[in-house]
Structure 1
Amino acid sequence: MRYTAKLKVKPKSVKDITNGYPLISKDAIENDEEKIEEGSLVQLVDSSNNYIATGYYGIQNKGIGWVLSRKEKEKIDQTFFAKRVREAVEKRAKFYATEDTTAFRVFNGAGDGIGGLTIEFFAGFYVVNWYSEGIYSFREEIYQALNDTADPRGVYEKLRFDKNGQYVDQDDYVSGEKGEFPLIVSENGMSYAVDLNDGAMSGIFLDQRNVRKALRDRYSEGKTVLNTFSYTGAFSVSAALGGATETTSVDLAKRSLPKTIEQFAVNGIDYESQDIKVMNVFDYFRYAERHALKFDVVVLDPPSFARTKKKTFSTSKDYTKLVKNTLKITSDGGLIVASTNTASFNMKKFKTFIDKAFKEMNKRYEIVEEHQLPEDFTVPHNFPEFNYLKVVFIKVLN
């Protein structure tokens, strides 16, 4: 039997939680919660001790837990988790039935009723991401629910709650068949190599699926494409398959070179005909400007925060400068694909960074396409702040 604590919600936060807000923030709670163990169930009540919701205690970013139910008599047990996982799997039925896409998100945290947990599908294998010790304490119930519902080929996990902010170095295999990596998955007919047992990342960010398709289908043919912060070169692959005359991939991480070569190879693209640079993106901007290089399309998908020996990059502080640097090497009439996964501001705010950059560079622009999270990344209803992905396709007019 799990210990259940009672947490009193401040009056200003009662309405939000009652209306469906899923995150339990420290600021929303009146009484001291520091002695509660991770994984404990918590009953949220108002100042008159009236029931509001049931959740679990688990420290994650700005929160101390997540709401699981607003039904006072609902038990948080195996049946509860089985129902949530089953509903999520059924919601993705069309993804399971699609042959040209074999990688997608099956369970998206609070959007599917259990904050702090995501599950991804890769050609029959599942990767379960745990974002706090609290949710990880329910692993037996959740793995049982996944096995009963989805019949996984094999299961891997990622523990993302190390107290030092670093990924836990471990063998990620959990159960079922052990994968042979790289595993080749399909995305809208494109191929990508993934490794489910190689640290924090798999090799592809699934939330950018629709953006890669748009780049391939509508914006690459006959174009030169620069892919900055390129990671494993997924955008470069989509551009090349869309008919780009040349792609340039730039990332500081040394492993980006072999990983990008691998992604080109599994798509039958001669990597030697593409340009892959292992260097700081801002150094590359200066290099490109010195050599009078211009690109028809530039993809900007920086991490929310990054630190090198020379400087620190923060999306909220530095995105305007990033766009200004990009404009110097973008052809007139060219396209900038500006993206961020920073959850601390919304699309409207993101566009102000872009607008400021263009005004300071005395350039005009037109936003021709926008994207946020794809359909399989379900977000809590009426709370758009959980829709963290923001992507705009910007045409440079002069």
Structure 2
Amino acid sequence: MNKVTLHRGKDKAAWQLHPWVFSGAIAQVHGQVDNGAVVEVFNADDEFIAFGVYNSRSRVAVRLLEWNPQRQIDADWWRDRLRRSVGLRNHLLHADNTTIRLVFAEADFLPGLIVDKYGDFISIQVHSSGTERVKAILVDELVALLSPKGIYERSDLKSREHEGLPDTNGLLYGEMPPAFVDVIENGILYQINIVEGQKSGFYCDQRDNRALTALYAKGQRVLDCFCYSGGFTLNALKQGAAAVTSVDSSALAIDTLLQNMTRNGFDSSEHRAVQSDVNKYLRQLGEAGEKFDLIVLDPPKYAPSRSALEKASRAYKDLNRRGLMLLESGGLLATFSCSGAMDIDTFKQVIAWAALDAGREIQFIRQFNQPEDHPIRASFPEGEYLKGLLVRVV
């Protein structure tokens, strides 16, 4: 077995079950270890800590897998982990919900692996060299467990570059997904694009938050910014919103949203779709003196790392300032950040600054989180990335 020894004093996180060993913590790699190979990790006193997979090109040099020295990291180990992850989510699949995340990487003890179920199809992303080596085993087990029509890979990720892996997209099993795959979430029909859509095809991490936000939409004028395929829009219309305006810069997103409107039989006279840069459109709305009762701001990741947090905070503040200025007194802002580098307390402070600049007094009345199929492992707090606030203008 390949062996890695850590520097003295650099083993605390590994003993505490954190799954990442950074390159600076490694004192010695014994022998020639291929990237993606399984290694045994020891402390400076030559005590076994855990098994992991090694990659010399990555800042995360070892991704730890198993702390029990009696367990062998073989095909059966990977299959068992995958079965456990899928089994914990079976109750989330039912007639009103046919799309969930089956595997959430380190949170499910499967580093670098994302698996999403979209109706009869599965979309996977592979972020790490160790998981890349066993991809065929994992695909085989997914077929045995779920009998999907097809499994499609969307591994076109910046993280693969850091692992020394090329981007790869393509069919891994069965049928090629059609241009639009039918799924149901919160009882609402969606047609989503697995092959060309954003990320793995759909943002199922907002499932609960869409439903919760829509509870405030009845009879209200709603503005859904960064609407993508219409999750917040469709939930608001289902709950009786008086009018909804949906904004996204992507033509594909707007086209998909309009198809989803038709699929659900919603009245198009209550809806306006706008293809535009969101910040530009918010400025235009402000200049026109438009007002709304409920605004949703669900932007892309502004802070991919802690080094980008200061710049991202300014972007979040400016975006939310513009949103708050468009709300009626008593109006609500549902605002989100999917940047793991920004914690909830920092996000609250940014929104408070935005309110101050907008000249609005606000109350925080609800916090939003990621759903249970995106669990947060106690030893890996970095897995908590999605947070949101429901803000009332008073």
TM-score normalized by structure 1?
0.89
Check whether the contact 1:8–1:30 (CA below 8 A) recurs between aligned residues: yes
Over 3 Å counting, the alpha-carbon distance change for 1:46 and 1:170 in structure 2 is closer
Identify the residue that residue 107 of structure 2 maps to in structure 1.
111
- What is the aligned counterpart of 2:126 among 126, 130, 140? 130
- What is the aligned counterpart of 1:81 among 72, 78, 81? 78
Check whether the contact 2:113–2:131 (CA below 8 A) recurs between aligned residues: yes
The secondary structure found in structure 1 opposite 2:161 is: coil
Identify the residue that residue 57 of structure 1 maps to in structure 2.
54
Deviation of the 1:154 alpha carbon: 2.1
Identify the residue that residue 192 of structure 2 maps to in structure 1.
194
- What CA distance in whole angstroms lies between the structure 2 residues aligned with 1:378 and 1:43? 27
The secondary structure found in structure 2 opposite 1:106 is: strand
Counterpart of 1:39, as a letter, is G
Counterpart of 1:172, as a letter, is G
Q: Which ranges in structure 1 are unaligned for 5 or more consecutive residues?
A: 307-312
Deviation of the 1:382 alpha carbon: 4.3
- What is the aligned counterpart of 1:181 among 179, 202, 205? 179
Counterpart of 1:239, as a letter, is A
- What CA distance in whole angstroms lies between the structure 2 residues aligned with 1:258 and 1:99? 26
Deviation of the 1:221 alpha carbon: 0.6
Identify the residue that residue 292 of structure 2 maps to in structure 1.
295
Identify the residue that residue 346 of structure 1 maps to in structure 2.
343
- What is the aligned counterpart of 2:19 among 13, 19, 22? 22
Identify the residue that residue 306 of structure 2 maps to in structure 1.
none
Deviation of the 1:260 alpha carbon: 1.8
Q: Please state if 1:140 is matched with 2:136.
A: yes
Deviation of the 1:381 alpha carbon: 1.9
Identify the residue that residue 151 of structure 1 maps to in structure 2.
147
- What CA distance in whole angstroms lies between the structure 2 residues aligned with 1:314 and 1:264? 36
- Cα shift readout 1:191-224 (whole Å, capped 9, x = no counterpart): 11112222553542010000111122x1111111
Deviation of the 1:61 alpha carbon: 7.9
Deviation of the 1:271 alpha carbon: 3.9
- What CA distance in whole angstroms lies between the structure 2 residues aligned with 1:109 and 1:327? 36
Q: Which moved more, 1:257-266 or 1:101-110?
A: 257-266
- Cα shift readout 1:263-319 (whole Å, capped 9, x = no counterpart): 21221124464211111111112101110011111111111239xxxxxx9533321
- What CA distance in whole angstroms lies between the structure 1 residues aligned with 2:100 and 2:177? 17
The secondary structure found in structure 2 opposite 1:380 is: coil
- What is the aligned counterpart of 1:244 among 209, 227, 241? 241
- The number of equivalent residue pairs is 387
Over 3 Å counting, the alpha-carbon distance change for 1:272 and 1:172 in structure 2 is farther
Over 3 Å counting, the alpha-carbon distance change for 1:336 and 1:120 in structure 2 is same
Identify the residue that residue 206 of structure 2 maps to in structure 1.
208
- Cα shift readout 1:45-70 (whole Å, capped 9, x = no counterpart): 11122111111125898523421101
Over 3 Å counting, the alpha-carbon distance change for 1:276 and 1:193 in structure 2 is same
Q: Which moved more, 1:192-201 or 1:257-266?
A: 192-201
Say what the alpha-carbon RMSD is for the aligned residues.
2.8
- What CA distance in whole angstroms lies between the structure 2 residues aligned with 1:138 and 1:340? 33
- What CA distance in whole angstroms lies between the structure 1 residues aligned with 2:361 and 2:197? 42
Check whether the contact 1:24–1:65 (CA below 8 A) recurs between aligned residues: yes
- What CA distance in whole angstroms lies between the structure 2 residues aligned with 1:358 and 1:183? 40
- What is the aligned counterpart of 2:282 among 281, 285, 289? 285
Over 3 Å counting, the alpha-carbon distance change for 1:242 and 1:385 in structure 2 is same
- What CA distance in whole angstroms lies between the structure 2 residues aligned with 1:199 and 1:189? 21
Counterpart of 2:343, as a letter, is N
Counterpart of 1:158, as a letter, is R
Deviation of the 1:338 alpha carbon: 0.9
Over 3 Å counting, the alpha-carbon distance change for 1:147 and 1:213 in structure 2 is same
